[in-house]
Structure 1
Amino acid sequence: MFAYKTLKSGTDIRGVASEGGGAPINLTDEVIERIAAGFLVWCEKHLNKAAAGLKIAVGHDSRISADRISAALCRVFTACGASVSDCGLASTPSMFMATLELPCDCSVQITASHHPFYRNGLKFFTPAGGLDSPDISEILEYAEAGASPEKKEGGSVTTVHYMQKYAENLRAMIQKGVSAEDYEHPLNGFKIVVDAGNGAGGFYATEVLEPLGADITGSQFLDPDGRFPNHIPNPENEEAMASVCAATVRAGADLGVIFDTDVDRGGAVDSRGEEINRNRLVAIASAIALEGNAGGTIVTDSITSDGLKTYIEETLGGHHHRFKRGYKNVINEAIRLNNEGVNCPLAIETSGHAALRENYFLDDGAYLVTKIIIKAAQLSRAGQSLESLIADLKEAKEEKELRFPITTADFRPVGEGIIAALERYAEDAGWAIAPDNREGIRISFPENDGDGWFLLRMSVHDPILPLNLESNTVGGVHILAEKLLAFFEQADTTYVDYTSLQAFLNA
């Protein structure tokens, strides 16, 4: 029997849905149908509503397998008597908002984020938010067991253009935030380049910015094309960022923005063609989020820089709470802090996942970019720029990420053992272990001895030990890597392949 649990990827379901990647298709129609039935069983249990009475929204990104998967979902939903709102091409965040605004009981987004074109997957939402890891496990258990509600007549599929309403909301947000003399066209005089990477984000240029008066000349790859022929739609991808940076400069634009395939992540580019990404994006988002939240706490993932912590705490007067990698991890931690009475307006990962409390802690790339555009317009009116907002952010001179595969099936104990051994080694060597380690181990070194830090941790999902190194001095990363190599050479690395570290030092 097919092992459905292999399709679990954190809080998503992901698999191979099309030919072209060299791997067999495991998101077949039968598999999708069983997952759809399992989701209905989950809904009956957790939403306390019969499947025959459910209202379900279904959307998808631009992947070539989207229509097939959508049809399989709708077959099962309608066969069990549910009413389906077919939203067609949509962003992932819009499918959460659809549960509130259509309204509906739940929704499904068909997407595999930035993964290659031949992969696809499913994300699930209720009005309470995105389903979490245990929920996905439960759905897949139902699917594997063949669980399903009773078949009922009366199911239906209705085409709903919810993205029009979602875009309208963003336009109204900009109009209110900028509050220009020409209220209907607050972006008159602004030139903004949008790179959608042929994903679902092209609407942002044509349905949000252009109607508000922005000049979107130079925008690129707005048309949906599920094979992503130009570059991977991913703000973390070097080729993608180089492309939007060049397009922004070529167009003489005030700002460039880029989205991943399903628009739950965004990045930006300033007028000089410099990336506003990773730590710079976190810094700008933090400055925006802390307006009206003096002394508030910003939750980030574990690989944010020391300079960012200084910027948040000393320049902005906030508190920095460094947590685990994984966008759902930082969001859940921010929600936990707020429930405990801590003023925490923002959870953000360096990958570009950003969730603001004012927006239901939904990771929404279009919402974040909209907040940035509003701030850019406000600063422009005062004769300032986005760059001036983060002028005090101290950025590292060097950074590097290496990945060490763990070569045994039972990989987690091996990885945890290496991290524990490194902690003992660091203590014996007198190294400065970070007091806020919440995953792996982060160790800092002074100015004359590497001038930076490294973090060794377990991957969220995979049998890999990622290593991040950062230094404030040219050549510092090499010094830090040498220190770590000395550790690995005396550790038990039977199942750990650290040859990439050796190759980096020998290069």
Structure 2
Amino acid sequence: MITSTIFKANDIRGITEGAEPEWDEDGAYAIGSALVDVLDLTRSASALVVGRDMRISGPRMSAAFAEGVLSRGVDIIDIGLASTDELWFASGRLDLPGAMFTASHNPAAYNGLKFCLAGARPIAPEQLVELAERAGGPRPEPATTPGVRREQDLLPAYAEHLLSLVDLTGIRRLTVVADAGNGMAGHTLPAVLGTLDLELVGLYTDPDGTFPNHQPNPLEPENLVDAQAAVVEHGADLALVFDGDADRCFVIDERGEVVAPSTVTAMIAAAELAREPGATVVCNKITSWSVPEIVRERGGEVVVTRVGHTFVKAAMAEHGAIFGGEHSAHYYFRDFWGADTGMLAALHVLALLGRSGRPLSELTTEFTRYAPSGELNSTVPDAPATMARVEAAFAGRGSVDHVDGLTVSGPDWWVNVRASNTEPLLRLNVEAKDPAQMARLREEVLALIRA
């Protein structure tokens, strides 16, 4: 069974548990079988790399998907339990296309799939459209000789590669709270941070797809509370909070205050530009204006994309960008095949903080120039009509574009309203030079959205 709603702009996500699943093992098999034709795997690749996160449905869904691929005569390299960025690593390291079973930050009843081409390159949006059509159509004939599945543990190589990309020698000893949220960071943290001279305070590091402590979505403030409290309790230098599949990392300073992902983007961009002057940095439409300002001041070039890893990865490859960042705490690195990795971003922050001799709250001030609202979500019956209402209310007050949803920009503020790629929500982001101005704009637009 497959419902068409599981096919999103960048990946697949849908309910697999409960009385009304949106896809099941038969659907996963169909998707695996169809993917062979969409990516032309019988001719373009010797195998497909497959990983899965800790979700309850992961073993059965990934096994069914693999059977669909194997039935078409394509081999499977199964890396088992993995973070999404570990799957990107496997694709890059082995130069093979990959499929990752994860629903990222969605609740426990969900599962999903993220895909990449060989070298962790993104698949095109139109390939997801074709996959939906083929998976919902007639089942292809199986190959005369099925593929072969073999297991391969790439976690040690993944950790070694990440640690080779950041110079952590000579930094001061830090106390670090790490909240894995019962997600896949609990699998990767020991291999990466566990090898460093840190005092590591782990929270919820046992992978558990029921998420018994809090939801694996660090964009929601209530899911950061435990890490914020732990920073203060332990007198830690910072906290790192990962989402369910550990491809995103949120940062909390020594006071328990959240460091905006745009600030982290600006910090890492500045460090990468110091290493390679004149390089290109990618950011999405919702990233703070601080990022392009700082990149240009440091002599770099800026490319702005739509929100979503497919679009950012494509821009990274097209422009040979050294680094990219999104407001949602996705961070992309050329040295990581242009893919996103929360763990590598965390290592960069540790290196910058460990060399600074200052607390993180002071280190971040020079990279924070605007007051952000954070992302505010609303369920609305008609997203296009709601956005049209906002656009009409702001007529004549600023420049308008529709690169990603609706953006209205004034001289020192901007408002963006866009439909979610993964959930039935309308997302609002506001930024202004002055916090009071930001608050006024935020409340005005929220009133229009929720009218």
Give TM-score, length-normalised by structure 2. 0.88
For structure 2, the residue ranges without an aligned partner over 5 or more in a row are none
Counterpart selection for 1:373 from 317, 333, 350: 350
1:335 corresponds in structure 2 to 317
Are 1:256 and 2:239 an aligned pair?
yes
Cα deviation for residue 461 of structure 1 reads 6.0
For 1:237, the aligned partner's letter is: E
2:341 corresponds in structure 1 to 364
Question: Based on CA coordinates, which of the two structures has the bigger radius of gyration?
Answer: 1
Q: Is the Cα contact below 8 Å between 1:37 and 1:143 reproduced in 2?
A: yes
Are 1:467 and 2:428 an aligned pair?
yes
For 1:58, the aligned partner's letter is: V
Quick one: percent identity of the two aligned structures? Answer: 28
Give CA-to-partner distance per residue, 1:474-504, whole Å, 9 cap, x none. 543454357659xx9xxxxxxxxx462x5xx
Are 1:107 and 2:98 an aligned pair?
yes
Once residues 272 and 207 of structure 2 are traced to their aligned partners in structure 1, the CA distance between those partners, rounded to angstroms, is 32
Q: Is the Cα contact below 8 Å between 2:32 and 2:67 reproduced in 1?
A: no
Q: Given the superposition, is the C-alpha separation of residues 155 and 403 from structure 1 closer, same or farther in structure 2, using an over 3 Å criterion?
A: closer
Cα deviation for residue 196 of structure 1 reads 0.8
Q: Given the superposition, is the C-alpha separation of residues 471 and 86 from structure 1 closer, same or farther in structure 2, using an over 3 Å criterion?
A: same
Task: Count matched residues.
Answer: 450
Alignment of 1:183-262 (within 5 A): 189-216=173-200, 218-262=201-245
Once residues 169 and 27 of structure 1 are traced to their aligned partners in structure 2, the CA distance between those partners, rounded to angstroms, is 36
Q: Is the Cα contact below 8 Å between 2:33 and 2:71 reproduced in 1?
A: no
Q: Given the superposition, is the C-alpha separation of residues 171 and 331 from structure 1 closer, same or farther in structure 2, using an over 3 Å criterion?
A: closer
For 1:34, the aligned partner's letter is: A
Once residues 483 and 252 of structure 1 are traced to their aligned partners in structure 2, the CA distance between those partners, rounded to angstroms, is 39
Once residues 276 and 104 of structure 1 are traced to their aligned partners in structure 2, the CA distance between those partners, rounded to angstroms, is 35
For structure 1, the residue ranges without an aligned partner over 5 or more in a row are 181-186, 339-343, 489-497, 503-507
Q: SS of the residue aligned with 1:87?
A: strand
Q: Is the Cα contact below 8 Å between 1:398 and 1:477 reproduced in 2?
A: yes
Q: Given the superposition, is the C-alpha separation of residues 59 and 24 from structure 1 closer, same or farther in structure 2, using an over 3 Å criterion?
A: same
Q: Is the Cα contact below 8 Å between 2:372 and 2:431 reproduced in 1?
A: yes
Q: Given the superposition, is the C-alpha separation of residues 476 and 225 from structure 1 closer, same or farther in structure 2, using an over 3 Å criterion?
A: same
Counterpart selection for 1:156 from 148, 169, 174: 148
Give CA-to-partner distance per residue, 1:273-330, whole Å, 9 cap, x none. 332232222222222232233344433222333444444444x344544443223323
Once residues 303 and 25 of structure 1 are traced to their aligned partners in structure 2, the CA distance between those partners, rounded to angstroms, is 33
Counterpart selection for 1:266 from 249, 252, 258: 249
**Which stretch of structure 1 is more off in the superposition, 459-468 or 130-139?**
459-468
**Which stretch of structure 1 is more off in the superposition, 162-171 or 88-97?**
162-171
Q: Is the Cα contact below 8 Å between 1:347 and 1:356 reproduced in 2?
A: yes
Counterpart selection for 2:74 from 82, 85, 88: 82
Give CA-to-partner distance per residue, 1:240-291, whole Å, 9 cap, x none. 2222122222222223212111111112223333322322222222222322
Once residues 76 and 268 of structure 2 are traced to their aligned partners in structure 1, the CA distance between those partners, rounded to angstroms, is 36
Q: Is the Cα contact below 8 Å between 1:114 and 1:234 reproduced in 2?
A: yes
1:183 corresponds in structure 2 to none
Q: Given the superposition, is the C-alpha separation of residues 309 and 95 from structure 1 closer, same or farther in structure 2, using an over 3 Å criterion?
A: closer
Counterpart selection for 2:108 from 100, 117, 138: 117
2:259 corresponds in structure 1 to 276
Counterpart selection for 2:62 from 70, 74, 86: 70
**Which stretch of structure 1 is more off in the superposition, 207-216 or 383-392?**
383-392
1:8 corresponds in structure 2 to 7
Q: Is the Cα contact below 8 Å between 2:254 and 2:359 reproduced in 1?
A: no
Once residues 481 and 188 of structure 1 are traced to their aligned partners in structure 2, the CA distance between those partners, rounded to angstroms, is 40
For 1:293, the aligned partner's letter is: E
For 2:273, the aligned partner's letter is: L
For 1:275, the aligned partner's letter is: V
Q: SS of the residue aligned with 1:48?
A: helix
Cα deviation for residue 237 of structure 1 reads 2.0
Q: SS of the residue aligned with 2:113?
A: strand
Cα deviation for residue 67 of structure 1 reads 0.8
Query: Larger relative CO (CA 8 A, sep 6+): 1 or 2?
Result: 2
Are 1:48 and 2:43 an aligned pair?
yes
For 1:432, the aligned partner's letter is: G
Cα deviation for residue 233 of structure 1 reads 1.9
For 2:287, the aligned partner's letter is: T
Q: Is the Cα contact below 8 Å between 1:62 and 1:89 reproduced in 2?
A: yes
